[in-house]
A and B are shown apart, each in its own frame.
Chain A
């Protein structure tokens, strides 16, 4: 079983991102369980969501304490939320930022990949909703879910016009990922 933890703020689609990963894995023929951990429900409050992926049915309902993968949708959380807590040393982290990994002062031995997801989302989707871009990058870097799976998940979740723009952002993320060292 692989465990993914996502961090962001309310309104950034952190919960939807987890749902999309689960849908993509389901489309790929895997088992998935995605669920959120809310603070009180309001825009801007820190939100954590979780996805468990496996070839067997997933039964445990506890939160993820030692994630294999971490996706951070809002770099401003670093410092106020212990986003890297428990991240496996051989794990991997993806963070939306225009800064370089080294400048982020993260307390982890895991590999850190940065992508300017909000910038890409604004360019391609027209709104600073960066979750699908991050998802594309996550899929490309880890190979845990396929491009086809992500595409199906987005088409399933959003109306056609919005889905198209999000898939274009995913595509961009995939091409950027190819320029980076793969897992």
Chain B
């Protein structure tokens, strides 16, 4: 007899799978008009916007460039630009 394949894997695969490589567009946080509303943090579907004190940024290891942060920013402080790879 030999051991069955028990069909379980190590947790945390989403940390290892760096989805940043999927991007075409990248968010540029201008830090000009930011009001610390943190809407960008809340709406990011990948939970990869971080920061404080009017200075926010996307974790580029995971940011897929969906543009929701830029779209939702009430003071237009985020631009989406074509990323040069």
Chain A residues within CB distance 8 Å of chain B: 9, 43-45, 75-76, 80, 118, 122, 128
Contact = CB atoms under 8 A, between A and B. Distances in A.
19 contacts: A9-B22, A43-B22, A43-B64, A44-B19, A44-B21, A44-B22, A44-B23, A44-B64, A45-B22, A75-B85, A76-B21, A76-B85, A80-B21, A118-B24, A118-B82, A122-B82, A128-B24, A128-B25, A128-B82
A125 B24 CA distance: 16
Q: Is the interface of B mostly helix, strand, loop or mixed?
A: mixed
Given A44-B22, A128-B25, A128-B82, 6 more contacts: A43-B64, A44-B64, A45-B22, A118-B24, A118-B82, A122-B82
Contacts of A76: 21, 85
Interface of B: 19, 21-25, 64, 82, 85
Closest 7 CB pairs of A and B: A44-B22, A128-B24, A76-B21, A76-B85, A44-B64, A9-B22, A44-B19
Nearest to A44: B22
A85 B12 CA distance: 30
Contacts of B64: 43-44
A37 to B, nearest CB: 18
A44 B65 CA distance: 10
Nearest to B19: A44
Contacts of A43: 22, 64
Which residue among B22, B64, B82, B85 has the maximum number of chain A CB atoms within 10 Å of its CB?
B22
A76 B85 CA distance: 8
